[in-house]
Structure 1
Amino acid sequence: MIEILIVLAALVLAVLFVVRPGRVRPAQLAPFQGWNYAHRGLHTQDKQVAENSLPAFAAAVAAGYGMELDVQLSKDGQVVVFHDDTLDRVTGVQGRVDAFTWEELQKMQL
């Protein structure tokens, strides 16, 4: 019985070790300190500059911001910069990004 408890305790500790985030040392953070980052480009709330658009990325560069973006594949295997899995929030089109070809996606308005 005690062997089972020891094995279970070891298993729990192993799982906790694997899933717990590691400690980040200040030296690891240093290259990222003092920068602003534009999530999905530097877009505007009024949507005059749409998120994940070339103008949003150009605005981030012009402002000296770092950028975060997500990439996915279209139905025909082309790389697409798009944050959500589905298109509806940004384009009004129902469906997943990977359900459309590159040509079909290019015709959609952000």
Structure 2
Amino acid sequence: MDHTFAEAHPVPIALEGLQSVPRLSRMMGEIRTYGYRPTPAKLTGQQLLIAQLTALGLANKEIAYLADISETTVKAHISAALRSLNLKRRTQLCRYIFEGGLLAED
């Protein structure tokens, strides 16, 4: 499975009106449903949710807005997920999510 950043999220999303975008709202519902299942990597549900949103190409500020947490908490979850998976970069985390089939596709 070869996913590029452009395919994952072709256009930057403004924070205003995020919930009104039907596709993003549906994807958020799918992610939240899937995000709290246990994974082989032992990521917590919240870490997996944040990793999935990261894989969509969202910035920390956008993730914080959607998950209703602070940007600092987003950074902490991403760091913890990277440590758990023994990864070094955010892009590696995105690839792990896509290649592991942990993100619902259209």
Give the TM-score band, short-chain normalised: under 0.3
More strand by share: 1
The alignment's TM-score, normalised by the length of structure 2, stands at 0.24
The alignment's TM-score, normalised by the length of structure 1, stands at 0.23
Pick 1 or 2: higher relative contact order, CA cutoff 8 A, min separation 6: 2
More helix by share: 2
